[in-house]
Structure 1
């Protein structure tokens, strides 16, 4: 809002300076360079010309350019400019006749000993026509620049709204995808251990509270996101047997930075979905680290033959949407890689986010 007011003040100041320049030329510079006693009728004429130029400037800016030039009615626009020139010429002749200026100017020069004056074209005032063309040129240029700036701001606002709508849509897709899998896990757990299923429901309700109330602003403290991930991991571990080893390393958080919510979960969810076997040993390793302004995530999980094709494709709904969110939220400020290693038979996801000062200190995007 302050920026808009500042631009408005600057625009008004520029207009004032422009008309002060033209007023000084018409009312002071030209008459005083003649070195005669200027009749007051000349001041009246020059003032009328200045008012006429002001009318042309704003008439062209607010009506002719938007209604004709910007709507590809170039012929009508040129005819209007020619009309201004004709009206200006007739106005100058009329003022000369009414104010009797030619005779007064001759008498003023005769007083200083100049009896022969250069001939003046009574039918065409070249100087007035040049002033009209100059004023319309300035007015048209200013109007086109302002139109370009307004269109640019509108495009940026529409792009921002588009990104916001797309992020909301992607987030809405990710969250139901996560809860669908989690509820299936809890349902399976109710047949094995009722008490553990109750604890799982409690964790799930805490996670839902986080999603409903702490992620609506588009950003969330890293500490809350880490707590959410811990709850998720503990929830998933309830259904695992001893053949799966799960490790998690969280970052040392000195200043609670702000990040986009639900960015890491789809990759962690994918590790649990495809990196667990009921018979073979498996390892899921999750590591979040923070160094200076770079937040990094590494997720490793064992790949089994039955999940190899899925791991190669890597096209789950949550995963593809999260990569799209990265492109929208951190354009040029993130790195992402995902793939299967042949030697260790692991699927590794590596993600880094480069955070700016706003995220590091103010806590808002």
Structure 2
């Protein structure tokens, strides 16, 4: 991890601006006395200390924090901060002694005051300003590095979550598509034995549906009008194998206000109705209604006659259906849908009602 990365918390330009401000504050700091002229050794020490603080900043950001604090070695990290602070103070003291700075500063003050300093502290001098500055630099370095790490981890977690959701959706769609085509091809096979013209029409309609599944819905979203056309094709295809004992009603919004929706999200509800609402020897009905109360709300109501034995389970024998669809809804429309399933209405029907907020 580097704080110099253009994608990091601090850009190189901000580094330059911050260190320039820091330099103006500390490198050029001197007692506010108009006639005071600081000796060159003072400026040399300030420049060297400025370089030491810059080094301490990046040493903490690139070494101490990543290798100690982020690795859970908090005790060693605290010792590293204390050791760094002591090292900086010793370096400051070394510069003062080497440059004979205390005596030179006394002379500068005496020259500015015009008289000898009566009370001079001849004992060891504690560099309180150096201590506060070092602690400030260490605190800023640690804080910036921690915040940068937190932001980086948050971006990584978000990217991983998006990849997980995308992968899971791909798996769910892969489960739906073979299930749908398997049933449809079985129906077409049965039609070829009864009516060749209807079989050709069914193949043409299925090819249009396959193009929709493979190409039109490849981007993850499709227009509501395209999804309605797909539903219409599916219902028409299913009706080809039904006789007059089965009544199928399909209602659609008119006009359709196009909004993006997840493709093939409604298909499992229709599959369930045609699978469990049709009997060879008993009259039944299937009702499908798509409504659009507002531009960003889509409603689907599916009802089918509940036939014995009671097998109206949207999950089906292979576990694909209600569980799969609920999972897709949770992933694609979290907190933006309401799914009601009534497996035995007063009219002896299996009813599903989905309200979807697509905006």
TM-score, structure 1 normalization = 0.89
Deviation at 1:46, TM superposition (A): 1.2
Secondary structure of 2:271 counterpart: helix
Partner of 1:240: 242
Q: Which moved more, 1:316-325 or 1:326-335?
A: 316-325
Decide whether aligned partners of structure 1 residues 269 and 37 sit closer, same or farther in structure 2, where only a CA change above 3 A counts.
same
Any residues of structure 2 matched to 1:69-148 within 5 Å, and which? 69-111=69-111, 112=113, 113=115, 115-116=117-118, 118-119=120-121, 122=124, 124-148=126-150
Any residues of structure 2 matched to 1:80-229 within 5 Å, and which? 80-111=80-111, 112=113, 113=115, 115-116=117-118, 118-119=120-121, 122=124, 124-229=126-231
Higher relative helix content: 1
Does the CA-based 8 Å contact 2:6-2:12 persist in structure 1? no
Deviation at 1:97, TM superposition (A): 2.9
Deviation readout 1:83-117 (Å, 9 max, x if unpaired): 32232123212222333322221111112135135
User: What is the aligned residue count?
Assistant: 349
Q: 2 CA distance for matches of 1:299 and 1:322?
A: 14
Q: Which moved more, 1:249-258 or 1:106-115?
A: 249-258
Deviation at 1:254, TM superposition (A): 5.1
Deviation above 4 Å: which 4+ runs of structure 1? Answer: 5-14
Secondary structure of 2:102 counterpart: helix
Q: Which moved more, 1:340-349 or 1:13-22?
A: 13-22
Decide whether aligned partners of structure 1 residues 302 and 44 sit closer, same or farther in structure 2, where only a CA change above 3 A counts.
same
Decide whether aligned partners of structure 1 residues 77 and 8 sit closer, same or farther in structure 2, where only a CA change above 3 A counts.
closer
Decide whether aligned partners of structure 1 residues 15 and 84 sit closer, same or farther in structure 2, where only a CA change above 3 A counts.
same
Secondary structure of 1:276 counterpart: coil
Q: Which moved more, 1:202-211 or 1:324-333?
A: 202-211
Does the CA-based 8 Å contact 2:27-2:47 persist in structure 1? yes
Q: 1 CA distance for matches of 2:40 and 2:291?
A: 82
Deviation at 1:242, TM superposition (A): 0.3
Does the CA-based 8 Å contact 1:249-1:288 persist in structure 2? yes
Deviation readout 1:36-69 (Å, 9 max, x if unpaired): 2222321221121111111111110011110111
Gaps of at least 5 residues in structure 1 are 357-365
Gaps of at least 5 residues in structure 2 are none
Partner of 1:42: 42
Partner of 1:346: 349
Any residues of structure 2 matched to 1:329-340 within 5 Å, and which? 329-340=332-343
Tell me which of 310, 313, 318 is aligned to 2:321: 318
Q: 1 CA distance for matches of 2:326 and 2:226?
A: 21
Partner of 1:359: none
Deviation at 1:17, TM superposition (A): 4.8
Decide whether aligned partners of structure 1 residues 318 and 105 sit closer, same or farther in structure 2, where only a CA change above 3 A counts.
same
Q: 2 CA distance for matches of 1:268 and 1:175?
A: 14
Does the CA-based 8 Å contact 1:173-1:318 persist in structure 2? no
Secondary structure of 2:272 counterpart: helix
Decide whether aligned partners of structure 1 residues 100 and 169 sit closer, same or farther in structure 2, where only a CA change above 3 A counts.
same
Aligned-CA RMSD value = 2.2
Does the CA-based 8 Å contact 1:268-1:299 persist in structure 2? yes
Deviation at 1:336, TM superposition (A): 0.5
TM-score, structure 2 normalization = 0.90
Deviation readout 1:101-153 (Å, 9 max, x if unpaired): 22221111112135135527647533322322221111111111111111111
Partner of 2:302: 299
